[in-house]
Amino acid sequence: MRLYLKNCIRLSMKTIKIKAFFFDVGGVLVRVNPDPAMEKLSILLKVSEEQIQRAMSRELLNTYEKGHLSSNQFYEQLLINYGSREKMSLETFKAYWENMLFPRAETIAFLKAVTQDFPVWLLSNTNDFHYDLLIQKFPFMQWVKGGIYSFMVGSMKPEPLIYQKAIRKSGFRPEEILFIDDLESNVLAGRDQGLNSIHFSDYAAFCEELKRQFPELEYLT
């Protein structure tokens, strides 16, 4: 009888191990493809696509996505970096900048299934241009409990602070949370904070890894 009760307790603990989810956005729920925007900017500004690409340095983008630059400041610095004599309105730039995000239907369907049984938060390095687009165009933004966005909290993955803020916001212990991200560095940083983490490469591989680590969650796929 005692052995039976122990087995029941173990099964129960395993079943309720994961109580909440954190989803990355870009690369998991949406595909990010800057190529069409780069091409349009190149034509409009009459500079090479390589010059367009070089203008957006990692340092500049990180500063923007941490919320240390306003959208106007980011736009103005990019215009300087482009080195073009042509004019471009902020509205045109924003339209091109927003045309980089495309839905990943399978993972969005998975997210919807998860929200039926678990609280879900988004944990994303992003900027206010893309955040506005997500709110306007992607219904999954309304399905989740909320989000922790780099430009709002002044920190970005894989920095420890953004994970700590996310964990506190959720109200769950890190070992009760499953974090899904497409960048291995972000996944490893999540594990350093105690999160259960899965590296997302494609949906089929993700389902296999979910089944391997958490067979009790396979029904969600």
Are the C-beta atoms of residues 99 and 37 closer than 8 Å to each other? yes
Question: What local confidence, expressed as pLDDT, does residue 94 receive?
Answer: 85
Which tokens belong to 32?
């990010």
Give the length of the chain: 221
Identify the CA nearest to 181 among candidates 123, 101, 121: 123
pLDDT by 10-residue block (mean), the chain, 221 residues: 42 66 97 90 92 91 95 91 90 84 96 98 94 93 97 98 98 98 98 98 97 96 94
Question: What local confidence, expressed as pLDDT, does residue 15 receive?
Answer: 52
Unique residue bearing structure tokens 């983008």? 61
Strand partners, 123: 148
Strand-by-strand arrangement of the 120-124 sheet: 146-149, 120-124, 20-23, 177-181, 196-199
74, 121, 215 from 129: Cα distances, Å: 11, 20, 38
Are the C-beta atoms of residues 134 and 48 closer than 8 Å to each other? no
Question: What local confidence, expressed as pLDDT, does residue 3 receive?
Answer: 44
Strand partners, 168: none
Are the C-beta atoms of residues 166 and 22 closer than 8 Å to each other? yes
Considering only CA atoms, give the Rg of the chain.
Answer: 20
Was domain 35-98 assigned CATH 1.10.150?
A: yes
Which CATH superfamily is 11-32+103-220 part of?
HAD superfamily/HAD-like (3.40.50.1000)
Q: What is the pTM of this model?
A: 0.88
Question: What local confidence, expressed as pLDDT, does residue 96 receive?
Answer: 84
H/E segment holding residue 132 = helix 128-137
Residues of the chain with CATH 3.40.50.1000: 11-32+103-220
Residues of the chain with CATH 1.10.150: 35-98
